[in-house]
Amino acid sequence: MDCDFSETQYSFCFTFEYLKRFFPIIPLPIFPNTVIEGRDGGGYDVNIDGNIYFQFKIPKHITRRNAKNPRQWPVYNMPYYRIKVNTNSRQFELLKDLQTDPFNKVYYATPNFHTDYALSTNYQFDRIVSSSSLFPIRNFPNHGSGHHQLIYRPNFNWGKLFSEPKEIKKERTISPIELFEVQKGSRFTIFKQAKRISEILGSNEIGIQGDIPLNDNNPIELVKAVYNILLTNYNIHWYPVISRRQ
């Protein structure tokens, strides 16, 4: 059975919740356009902090009725989810290349649910991320090893890769704070962007500095203030998400 929702819907919900849960300290995510996605350094759906990469996958829900592979059903003996992994593809090659950098964390992210109702409920209660399975790319076979199917269940910390059966460990639900590595140079965070906007808003030409709490010790209040001023004074909806263009 196919999922009721699309990969685009799931990826938006996952990323938006990820951003919201750790707002405003999480750096701005990057969504590559289709050209960049196929170039060296691409292959991912979203990049966070320069070294965290997610590629989203939408599974099929397999029940006893539609289970056609006799080797797969006995693994769990109950309904499971299944995604296809083509290790011969350019996309998989790019993901593997990203993983060669020791600072990079590269994952397949796939939902543990398949109905519109589950998507809506999990989104409403901020459970999209915790209701997803994360499979590190490093645990998959090398590029060029053929077509595979990965099966998994929500309450197991591993999945099984076919055609040649291989156990693939999941990553537990992750906090971006735990994944952020010490980077060369400075990280452009939402707080830094808000601070820069506040400097522009507080310039002599605009002169509304008194309405902005420029307190480095309270980044949440600064971000909220900048958001509210842009919306109230200029009818600008500031969304701290960017799309890289070339």
Domain ranges of the chain: 7-171, 190-234
Per-residue model confidence (pLDDT) at position 242: 37
3-state secondary structure of 37: helix
Distance, in Å, from the CA atom of 87 to the CA atom of 89, rounded to the nearest integer, reads 5
Split at pLDDT 50, 70, 90, the class of 141 is very high
Per-residue model confidence (pLDDT) at position 235: 72
138: number of Cβ within 10 Å = 14
| In the chain, % of residues over pLDDT 70 | 75
Section 208-218 average pLDDT: 57
* pLDDT tens profile 1-41: 899 999 999 999 999 888 776 665 666 778 876 655 556 66
Per-residue model confidence (pLDDT) at position 196: 80
Q: Which has the closest alpha carbon to 223: 204, 203, 196?
A: 196
Tally helices (H) and strands (E) across the chain: 8, 10
Mean pLDDT, all residues of the chain: 81
Q: Which has the closest alpha carbon to 80: 166, 161, 171, 138?
A: 161
Section 99-127 average pLDDT: 94
Section 158-171 average pLDDT: 87
If DSSP states are collapsed to H, E and C, what string results for 113-125? CCCHHHHHHHHHC
Contacts 24+ apart (CB under 8 A), 159-167: 159/133, 159/135, 160/72, 160/75, 161/85, 162/69, 162/71, 162/72, 165/71, 166/141
What's the CA angle centered on 140, arms 119 and 42, to 5 degrees? 70
Q: Which residues contact 190 (CB under 8 A, 6 or more apart)?
A: 23, 24, 25, 26, 27, 28, 223, 240
Per-residue model confidence (pLDDT) at position 182: 42
User: Model pTM?
Assistant: 0.69
Section 83-98 average pLDDT: 95
Inter-axis angle of helices 7-21 and 116-124, nearest 10: 10
User: What stretches of 100-181 show up as alpha helix (H) in DSSP?
Assistant: 116-124, 176-179
Split at pLDDT 50, 70, 90, the class of 128 is very high
Q: Which has the closest alpha carbon to 56: 45, 68, 72?
A: 45
Per-residue model confidence (pLDDT) at position 241: 44
Mean pLDDT is lowest, of 41-50, 95-104, 122-131, 171-180, for 171-180
Section 146-161 average pLDDT: 95
Split at pLDDT 50, 70, 90, the class of 164 is confident
What is the CATH T-level fold of the domain 7-171, as seen in this structure?
Trna Endonuclease; Chain: A, domain 1 (3.40.1350)
When mean pLDDT is compared over 18-32, 47-61, 140-154, the highest value belongs to 140-154
Do the Cβ atoms of 143 and 33 come closer than 8 Å?
A: no
Distance, in Å, from the CA atom of 147 to the CA atom of 159, rounded to the nearest integer, reads 16
